[in-house]
Amino acid sequence: IKATTRLRNGGLIIELTTTEAAKWIRNPVNRLRIIDAIGIPATIKERRFSVIVPFLPITANLDEPDWLRTIEVENSMSMGAVESANWI
């Protein structure tokens, strides 16, 4: 762990030192190990980011899950990395 930040709502943001550590914590079994070690009721949530893409063609079918998967494949992203897309 590189750093921790305590939020006003009592939550914690934990910054990890390596990509490998982040991959390790994404494993459900490892998440349970951490929660058990903490000894209090907790959940581990992945961080989400909003991204604005200018000049997206109006023909893009944002509601189609296959379109989102295509975007992930074309940009070498992991499956499910794009959670949703919306017009602004």
Split at pLDDT 50, 70, 90, the class of 18 is very high
Per-domain residue ranges for the chain?
Answer: 3-38, 50-88
Q: Confidence band (pLDDT; 50, 70, 90) for 29?
A: very high
For residue 88, with 0-12 CB atoms within 10 Å meaning exposed, 13-18 middle and 19 or more buried, which class applies?
exposed
Type of residue numbered 38: I
Task: Please identify which residue in the block is written with the tokens 């006003």.
Answer: 8
pTM exceeds 0.75: no
Where is pLDDT greater, at 76 or 87? Answer: 76
CA separation for the pair 85, 80 (Å, rounded) = 12
